[in-house]
Structures are given as C-alpha cells and as structure tokens.
Copies of this chain bind each other. A is one copy, B any other.
Amino acid sequence: MTTKKKLVTPRTLKGFRDLLPGEALAKKNMISKLQEVFESFGFGPIETPHLEYTDVLINETEGEIGKQLYRFEDNGGRDVCLRFDLTVPFARYAVQHKNELGMPFKRYAIGTNFRGENPQLGRYREFMQCDFDIIGVDSGSADAEIVQVIKAALLTMGVKNFTIRINNRKIMNGIAEHYGLVECVPEILRIIDKIDKIGEEKVRSSLLEELSLSSEQVDIFMEFVSLSGGKSCQEIFSIAEKYENLNEATKKGFQELRELAAILDGLEWQDCSYKIDFAIARGLGYYTGIIYETILNDFPEIGSICSGGRYDNLTQNFSKEPAPGVGASVGIDRLMAALQEMKLITMRETPARVLVTQMDKELCAYSHRVASEFRASDIPTEVYPAAAKLKKQFQYADRKGHEFIVLIGEDEAKANKITVKNLKTAEQETLTIEEAVKLTLLH
C-alpha cells in the first residue's frame, strides 16, 4: 500500500467495555450454568431485538428512563431506541405472539441492555440481564417455583450461604390504605427500599421530611418493617396477626405468604435459604404481590443479586387483557463480581487443558493427530499454532494456564509416543497417546 493512513486510536465508549479472555470465559460458563438451571425447570429461551420502536419501549410521559435512552432516528426515519431492559420487550412479545405462545407461558431471556447512566464501579452503560418469568397464572405454585430457581441457580454456582428475602406488597398497601395513605405508597416503598443502604434512622427521617408523614404514621411503618428481623416464618405469622386482620389487602398478602411458605417447607430444605422480611420493598412500580431479593450472607454490601416479584399487568401498554405473572432477574455483572470475590470463579485464559507443542514443522501433522485423540476423549486440547522455540511455548502455557504440555520430538513421533508433562507437579513421562489420554483424564 502506498497511501499513508492516519491510525485510529483503539478505544471504547465511556461506560462500555471489552471482556478479556479470562472474564469472558468465566461469564460464559456462568451463563451456561444459569441456562441449564432455567431449562431444568422448563423455562425456555426467547429472543427479542436490541433495537425497537421508541413508543414500544417507553411512554413519553415517563421521565427517569427517558433521559438515559440511546434513542435516534434510523435511516428510514423511524424513531428507534436500544432496549434498556428485557421486561418491556417481553410484554410486547407476549401480546404480539399471544396465539403462538398460549398461556401459561414460561421463558428466560439473557441479553444486553443499554442505559446512558453515569458509569459507577460495577455499573456500565451496556450491561447484561437475565430474566425468567411465568405469565398467565396467579398462583402460589408459580411464586414458589421462582424461589426454587433462585436457590438452584446459586447452588449450581457453588454459592451456599445466601438468603432469599420474601415480602408481599399487598401488606404494605393494605396498611397504607388503612391509615389513609394509599397515594403515598410508591414514595413510601421507594424510601423503605433504601433501608439496607441508609439505615432505619435515615428512612425514618426521610418519611417524616420528604413525605410529611406524622411521627405516629412513621412509627406504624417502621414497626412493621422491623417486625420480621431474625424471626422464623412461623413466629412472624403468629405475631403479625394485627396486620393480617387490618383489611382485605393485608389478609390476602399474608395468605399468599403462608401458601408460599407451605410449599417451600414441603420441599424439606434443611436450611434457612429463604425468610420472610418485611423490610424489602423493591423500587419498581409494577410489582403487586410477592416480592423477592437475594442477599449473599457473606457479602450483603453487594446488594441483591436476584430480585423480582409478582405483577398483575405486565402487558397493559399493549393490550386490555390482563397478564398476571411472576418473575425475577439475575444481575449477571454483579453476580460475577460476587463470585470472583468469593473465589468461586477461577479466571482461566484458555478453555484448553492440554497444550501440544511444536518443535519441528515436519511433525506438525503428528501434533494435530495427537491433539485430536485427546479431544476425542473430551479433553480440550490446543496445538501451539506454529513451530517455535520450546521456551516460548512453555511461556504461553504458563500464561494461559494449561495443566499439561505435550512434547513431541522425532524419537517420540517415530515410536508413536508423546512426552506429557504435568505443569503443576513438573512430572513428565513418555507414553503412548492412549496412555497419555488416560493419565490426563485421571486429573
């Protein structure tokens, strides 16, 4: 080429990032495990586009999300927008494909969303979410299934010490109704939702100052919110009677919690992986019943890694037919950060366990044949991609994290053998390919 080109500086946008091989492999493995768990419960995947008509994704009157949108006019003059969550597209999907899907309908979706927020530690403008929902039913059985999925997902990833906190919006609504504060419920929930972050005292003062509740009204909510702390379900049910009998809403709320607890207790879980906790509120407006949050007991400061709840009307922007359902969402990035913190993820730069070296170009075909024999026994095996100095190939294995290195000289090739070196123990042996495969499988 004769024209002199100006080089472009390689860079990503603010709030966007690349995943290096170790991170990307760990994330992919995490997602595979989640998929397996969802599918074991009969949730199948669906896909919706990353880009949608803006009016499908937002109601122009809504403020907060609107400002964060990646919204533009496409070449055909359409007002389009990158999705900011998986929930709104799912609502559209459920209405648009109603006849093909039938009800009830269960699905999971794992996908990338976009929000132009100010990036913070662990928060990106492009982020991955993983949602699972059961729609078309309003049952304790569905609520209980969501809890089981959360538990199974965490156990599969090696997380043992966690608490699924469960509440029911109907109770708080009923209490507010009883004291003539129905209109304030969204604000009350928004403030109570911060309790883990800012503490009881600040919640109390926010309720007093921001909402101008009376000190007695605040007491009522704070008493309720702190009622469940450290108590078993049965204890909570027995001391909470005064709330339960307040009105229809609280009655229904407690009834749903009792039903859920009965199903979960029937599973004979020998642990206390779930508890009823009146202090969780969830920020989102569309929840109308049972709500969930999941806390890692050793890392509560990370916040909830899987949250969700029951809603009455997911699809109200698209259809007059109600679509009740229940679902939850795993924060992929947050969960990965937590797993790293807990040393439950080993970052490896390569999925291969074995590196077959190449000292001599003439023996290349033999190297590839050896590797293919390892692969035939399900051992991921890489051939160093060119003949090179052995030192360089050892450095490569060292950096990437292979467990075994295979050395092939002329003598080995002639004898149809290979030398295998265990990179942890530094032991090495010259063996037939079959013997070497067996040895590797033992580790």
Decide yes or no: A17 and B49 within 8 Å by CB, A40-B381, A134-B385, A380-B42 being known contacts: yes
Does A93 count as interface, using CB distance less than 8 angstroms?
Answer: yes
How many chain A residues touch B (CB < 8 A): the figure is 114
Decide yes or no: A19 and B46 within 8 Å by CB, A52-B12, A316-B5, A365-B266 being known contacts: yes
Does A141 count as interface, using CB distance less than 8 angstroms?
Answer: yes
Decide yes or no: A380 and B39 within 8 Å by CB, A95-B10, A97-B20 being known contacts: yes
**Of A243-251, A336-344, A350-358, the one with at least 4 CB within 8 A of chain B:** A350-358
Question: What is the chain B residue whose CB lies nearest that of A313?
Answer: B1
Q: Mark A3-16, 1 if CB is under 8 A from B, else 0.
A: 00101111111101
A386 and B137: CB pair below 8 A? Answer: yes
A52→B18 CA distance, assembly (Å): 11
A100 and B352: CB pair below 8 A? Answer: no
6 extra interface residue pairs, beta carbon distance < 8 Å, beyond A106-B382, A141-B367: A11-B96, A18-B96, A20-B100, A32-B35, A41-B380, A266-B369
A107→B7 CA distance, assembly (Å): 24
**CB under 8 Å from chain B, chain A span 314-373:** 316-320, 349-352, 355, 358, 361, 364-369, 371-372
A104 and B386: CB pair below 8 A? Answer: yes
Min CB gap A72→B, angstroms: 3
Question: What is the chain B residue whose CB lies nearest that of A262?
Answer: B365
A364 and B13: CB pair below 8 A? Answer: no
A40 and B380: CB pair below 8 A? Answer: yes
Does A55 count as interface, using CB distance less than 8 angstroms?
Answer: yes
A43 and B364: CB pair below 8 A? Answer: no
Question: What is the chain B residue whose CB lies nearest that of A7?
Answer: B318
Min CB gap A287→B, angstroms: 15
Copies in the complex: 2
Does A434 count as interface, using CB distance less than 8 angstroms?
Answer: no
Question: What is the chain B residue whose CB lies nearest that of A139?
Answer: B386
B42 and A351: CB pair below 8 A? Answer: yes
Question: What is the chain B residue whose CB lies nearest that of A140?
Answer: B364
Interface centre among A27, A43, A44, A139, by most B CB within 10 Å? Answer: A44
Does A383 count as interface, using CB distance less than 8 angstroms?
Answer: yes
Does A114 count as interface, using CB distance less than 8 angstroms?
Answer: yes
Question: What is the chain B residue whose CB lies nearest that of A367?
Answer: B141
Interface centre among A42, A51, A266, A319, by most B CB within 10 Å? Answer: A42
Contacts of A9 in B (CB 8 A): 318
**Of A74-82, A270-278, A289-297, A403-411, the one with at least 4 CB within 8 A of chain B:** A74-82
B56 and A44: CB pair below 8 A? Answer: no
A20→B98 CA distance, assembly (Å): 11
Min CB gap A35→B, angstroms: 7
